[in-house]
Amino acid sequence: MYDSISSDLQRAIDTRSHGLVARVLSLQAFWVLAAALLAAVILSFATDAFATPQNLFNVTRNFAFVVIVAIGMTAVIITGGIDLSVGAMMGLAAILFGVAWRDWGLPLPAAAIVSLLVGLAGGGLNALLVARFGIPPLIVTLGTLSLFRGVAEGITQGAVNYTGFPARFLALGQGYLGGVVPAQLPIFLAVLAGYILLLHRSVIGRALYAIGFGPDGARYAKAVRNRGCAHPRVRLGGA
């Protein structure tokens, strides 16, 4: 009996000692990060232009908007869902921004509000079909992908483009702070910090994780209702 207790105690001590390392090594994100760092090291030795501040900030400028959308998608994936329509929704919102500014004569802030409302409407449509009617998100967003893309192509006829925006607006996507730091980087960091707090330090975040672990169990525990699945999809539309 004492040998068994001693063995269990030693096993618990070993598990505690090596548990952190084992958990880190079992994370898929760890290996993705390790692969990215390895690629960065190889490219740094392969060319002198890679590991320069200018190139690293330029890479940041190119992927910042994609990462912002990916952050919004994270909440959807946590709930066990997926959104295939996000790219088409971005395109439609961007086109309607151009329409509102150039064709309707709205100022840039009002055009931005129109674009956000369109994104929220698209996210709301996905949320309604998934959370209220129980249609699988893969099917819903595959359909709305075609819907949003078709509406965008119908507005532009596949040929019209919107250009000539003021320099102060273009600076948000193409400018640099102090001539070095991309203007999108502070926005990306603010969005990232906000989502970290939302997912890990709020009731909403705990509800999203509960849905992902088991929507029926979360519902029976009264942790969430159907609208819990809807919220991240609506927010992703507005992203």
Of 182, 191, 187, the C-alpha closest to 60 is 182
Of 145, 153, 150, 151, the C-alpha closest to 84 is 145
Q: Which of 68-82, 143-157, 158-172, 210-224 has the lowest mean pLDDT?
A: 210-224
pLDDT digits (tens, 9 = 90+) for 24-33: 777 777 888 8
Check whether residue 67 and residue 184 sit in a common domain.
yes
Q: What is the pLDDT averaged over residues 102-112?
A: 94
Give 182's strand partners.
176
Write down the mean pLDDT value for the chain. 82
Q: What pLDDT was estimated at residue 179?
A: 76
Tokens read off for 38 = 């390895």
Grouping H, G, I as helix, E, B as strand and the rest as coil, residue 164 is coil
Task: Tell me the pLDDT band of 121, cut-offs 50, 70 and 90.
Answer: very high
Q: Which domain holds residue 222?
A: 52-238
Instruction: Say how many domains are in the chain.
Output: 2
Tokens read off for 147 = 């819907």
Q: What is the pLDDT averaged over residues 132-137?
A: 89
DSSP assignment of 181-194: EETHHHHHHHHHHH
Predicted confidence (pLDDT) at residue 226 exceeds the cutoff of 60 = no
Check whether residue 72 and residue 107 sit in a common domain.
yes
Check whether residue 46 and residue 56 sit in a common domain.
no
Check whether residue 26 and residue 77 sit in a common domain.
no
Rounded to 5°, the CA angle 105-109-114 comes to 75
Predicted confidence (pLDDT) at residue 115 exceeds the cutoff of 90 = yes
pLDDT digits (tens, 9 = 90+) for 41-81: 998 888 888 888 878 887 877 788 888 888 888 888 888 88
Task: Tell me the pLDDT band of 18, cut-offs 50, 70 and 90.
Answer: low
Q: What pLDDT was estimated at residue 217?
A: 72
Check whether residue 94 and residue 4 sit in a common domain.
no
| Highest averaged pLDDT of the listed ranges 1-5, 12-16, 54-58 | 54-58
Q: What pLDDT was estimated at residue 2?
A: 46
Check whether residue 20 and residue 82 sit in a common domain.
no
Predicted confidence (pLDDT) at residue 239 exceeds the cutoff of 70 = no
Check whether residue 152 and residue 191 sit in a common domain.
yes
Check whether residue 35 and residue 64 sit in a common domain.
no
Q: Which of 93-97, 157-161, 175-179 has the lowest mean pLDDT?
A: 175-179
Q: Are 101 and 122 in contact (CB under 8 A)?
A: no
Check whether residue 165 and residue 75 sit in a common domain.
yes
Residue 127: half-sphere exposure toward Cβ, Cα within 13 Å: 23
**DSSP class of 201:** S
Distance CA 187, CA 50 (A): 24
Check whether residue 20 and residue 58 sit in a common domain.
no
Q: What pLDDT was estimated at residue 118?
A: 94
How many other C-beta atoms lie within 10 A of the C-beta of residue 179?
6
The residue from 34, 51, 68 where one domain ends is 51
Check whether residue 24 and residue 129 sit in a common domain.
no
| % of the chain exceeding 70 in pLDDT | 83
Distance CA 191, CA 46 (A): 34
Whole-model pTM: value is 0.74
Q: What pLDDT was estimated at residue 16?
A: 55
Q: What is the pLDDT averaged over residues 2-21?
A: 56
Check whether residue 59 and residue 37 sit in a common domain.
no
Predicted confidence (pLDDT) at residue 1 exceeds the cutoff of 50 = no
Q: Are 206 and 223 in contact (CB under 8 A)?
A: yes
Residue 165, classified by CB atoms within 10 Å of its CB into exposed (0-12), middle (13-18) or buried (19+), is middle
